[in-house]
Amino acid sequence: MTTFTRPKLLTSMTAIAALATAGVVHAAGASEPTLTGWALMPAATFADGPTSGQFAGPNPYGTNLPPFAAKQPVQGFSGVLRGPGRDTFRFLVDNGFGAKANSADALLRMYAVSVDLRTAQGGSGTVAAADWVSGRPRAAFDSRTRLTLNDAARQIGIAVQADYSHYYDNPAGIPVDAAIRDARLLTGADLDIESVRRDHRGHYWFGDEFGPYLVKTDAHGTVLRPVIPMPGVYAPENADVLAGTVAPNLGGSGGFEGMAMNTSGTRLFTLLEKVVAGDPQRQLRISEFDVDAESYTGRMWFYPLDAAGTAIGDMTAIDDERFVVIERNGGTATTPSTAPFKKLFLVDLSDLPSGGTARKTELVDLMNLADPHDLDRDGKAIYTLPYVTIEDVLMLDDHTLLVVNDNNFPYGGGRTLASDATEFIRIALPTGLRR
């Protein structure tokens, strides 16, 4: 998130493609990337939980004003995995309201979401809650639809809000909700999780921006070991920086925005959102991590930003050497002085030595996507996705991608001067991704 003021594990891409194909309709004979499915989740979508937004400022538009009594926003999607049923997905919610200082009451969760895309053949263009295990529809985003990160085993190794009687350890402040303390639930003041993958043993790995740290949990979201720092890299919120033992060398909100898993589920590839001090200008680190050894391998590459790009939004694997990366700037439909730049690139590390610069090829311009059936009903044959942050990409099959924005709730300004909705789009590619 951008900082604002205010069942059986599938490890084979072949298996994933086989699952996905049933729900995918290709744009026959498409000569360019084409929108083949669209859905929308309203900004004001909530789940039960502790009161949230008590430290968050209002947006400048006067919509969806915090706090949110006895509920948590189902928003800010920053990572996506395939779900347990057809057309269901598991989405990661990031740290809440955009900063450590305003997200102590925002729980770190993943939600199962059923997506009924509007297509040329039909569909409602709506989304709904789904059972985390079965994928069956649920009437609301209740406890059966989610995973909540927690430190019930007391393994995390850093101070968290559940350690305190009052949020931010301020005796004069608001008491920490009893549910957070009792179950040691993790919040957006503890970690800023922006990416997620599941390994070959069924464990989840979350990429954080405050360390930046890697966080390992079991299948239920319970932290299994102390957070793993990135050697030699320190964000302003890193525990060692806060203790005064080191100086930061990575900008705030610059950590693991992107993270991919190889096809065997044994290697992670982490991608920083910002440049480490001393690294080549406008080049972001891609680092390899050994899941079983729980350590970085020392192999590293650089992702070169486009001239118009300022950050990346997500990274997903095609195979063991090639990836799809979202790249963007901060422009939106409501920023006349900054034209939105939102693109997908194919990134290739094949035959590159450690320290090399990745090769990249444009796949999709998200500001110029063919929409011959006007699936979003805006009266235009070109679809645009102009939100500040677009942080979810999933390969459905060789020719098909799912892309979803992070709406930075309750902030916005992506399409209009109001809180942003969350849009889900399916894109058919004219050329297959596999070799």
Residue 29 binned pLDDT confidence (cut-offs 50, 70, 90): low
| CA pair distance 292, 312, nearest whole angstrom | 27
Start-end of H helices in 94-187: 178-183
Residue 434 pLDDT: 86
Average predicted confidence (pLDDT) for the chain = 93
For residue 10, is pLDDT > 60? Answer: no
SS (H, E, C) the chain: CCCCCCCCCCCCHHHHHHHHHCCCCCCCCCCCCEEEEEEEECCCCEEECCCECCCCCCCCCCCCCCCECCEEECCCEEEEEECCCCCEEEEEECCCCCCHHHCCCCECEEEEEEEECEECCECCCEEEEECCCCCCECCCECHHHEEECECCCCCCCCCCHHHCCEHHHCCCCCECCHHHHHHCECECCCCCEEEEEECCCCCEEEEECCCCEEEEECCCCEECCCCEECCCCCCCCCHHHHCCCCCCCCCCCCCCCEEEECCCCCEEEEECCCCCCCCCCCEEEEEEEECCCCEEEEEEEEEECCCCCCEEEEEEECCCCEEEEEEECCCCCCCCCCCCCEEEEEEECCCCCCCCECEEEEEEECCCEECCCCCCCCCCCEECCCCCEEEEEEEEECCEEEEEEECCCCCECCCCCCECCEEEEEEECCCCCCC
Question: Is the whole model's pTM more than 0.75, yes or no?
Answer: yes
Report pLDDT digits (tens) over 147-171: 999 999 999 999 999 999 999 999 9
The pLDDT confidence band at residue 220, using thresholds 50, 70 and 90, is: very high
pLDDT at 18 over 80: no
In this prediction, residue 187 carries a pLDDT of 98
For 29, residues 6+ apart whose C-beta sits below 8 A from its C-beta are none
Rounded Cα distance, 156 and 163, in Å: 12
Q: Residue 94: helix, strand or coil by DSSP?
A: coil
List the structure tokens of 300: 């590293």
The three-class DSSP label of residue 100 is: helix
Q: Give tens-digit pLDDT for 338-362.
A: 999 999 999 999 999 999 999 999 9
pLDDT: which is higher, 21 or 46: 46
**Per-residue pLDDT band at 417 (split at 50, 70, 90):** very high
Residues 251-262: tens digit of each pLDDT: 999 999 999 999
Q: Which amino acid is at 224?
A: L
For 365-416, write each residue's pLDDT tens digit. 999 999 999 999 999 999 999 999 999 999 999 999 999 999 999 999 999 9
In angstroms, the CA 299 to CA 284 distance is 14
Reply yes or no on whether the pLDDT at 27 is more than 70. Answer: no
Question: What pLDDT is attached to residue 24?
Answer: 44
Band of the pLDDT at 23, cuts 50, 70, 90? Answer: very low
Q: Over 60: is that where the pLDDT of 109 sits?
A: yes
**Whole-number pLDDT of residue 337:** 94
Q: What are phi and psi of 417, to 5 degrees?
A: -85, 70
| pLDDT(19) > 50 | no
Residue 244: phi and psi, rounded to 5, are 85, 15
pLDDT tens across 32-84, in order? 999 999 999 999 999 999 999 999 999 999 999 999 999 999 989 999 999 99
pLDDT in the model for residue 435: 78
Q: Is the pLDDT of residue 215 over 90?
A: yes
pLDDT at residue 250, as a whole number: 98
Position 9 pLDDT exceeds 80: no
Which of 234, 228, 238 minimizes the C-alpha distance to 294?
228
Question: CA nearest 90: which of 146, 16, 150, 140?
Answer: 146
